[in-house]
Amino acid sequence: MNTRKLHALMACALFLLAAGLYGMLSGHPVELWRVAFWSIAGVAIYIALSGIFGFDPHRTRIARYASPLVRYVDRWELRLGQATLSMLGCVALAAGVLDQSNFVTAVVSGTLAAWTYFALRLYVGGYGRVDLAQR
């Protein structure tokens, strides 16, 4: 299985587990199917937008001799930031159109699952070895 797909499934499962635990501990009912739907949507949108904006921590159009700070800003701040903010906008727009009565649940589920996906991929090495301080 492709590692991106595996990491996406793991991120959605982790967020679904967290939502279930929150529901149990807080006593507030959580519709797990809704959380799962919006989590999957958020991660899928994030992956698609990361590809569109060219986020890859190891490939850039910046010259090799550029300073490490310029390379960092190009990769992590600009490209990742574009993907993240666009994902948030897409999820908010879709939630407003498709699930207006549960807007907050939809947006929180979509964005936090996508951020869980990013953190998981970064932690397990899905983005490769990123050693920006040494460059």
**Relative orientation angle of helices 3-26 and 32-53, to the nearest 10 degrees:** 140
Tokens of 68: 């490490």
Per-residue pLDDT tens, the chain, 135 aa: give them.
Answer: 567 788 888 889 999 999 999 999 999 888 999 999 999 999 999 888 877 766 655 555 566 666 766 666 666 666 677 778 888 888 899 999 998 999 998 999 999 898 888 888 877 765 555 454 444
pLDDT of residue 121: 80
Nearest to 106 by CA among 116, 115, 96: 96
* CA dist 53 → 20, 27, 77 (Å): 33, 41, 12
pLDDT of residue 135: 42
The conformation of residue 79, written as its DSSP 8-state character, comes to: I
| Domain positions in the chain | 3-55+82-129
Helices and strands per DSSP (H, E), number in the chain:
5, 0
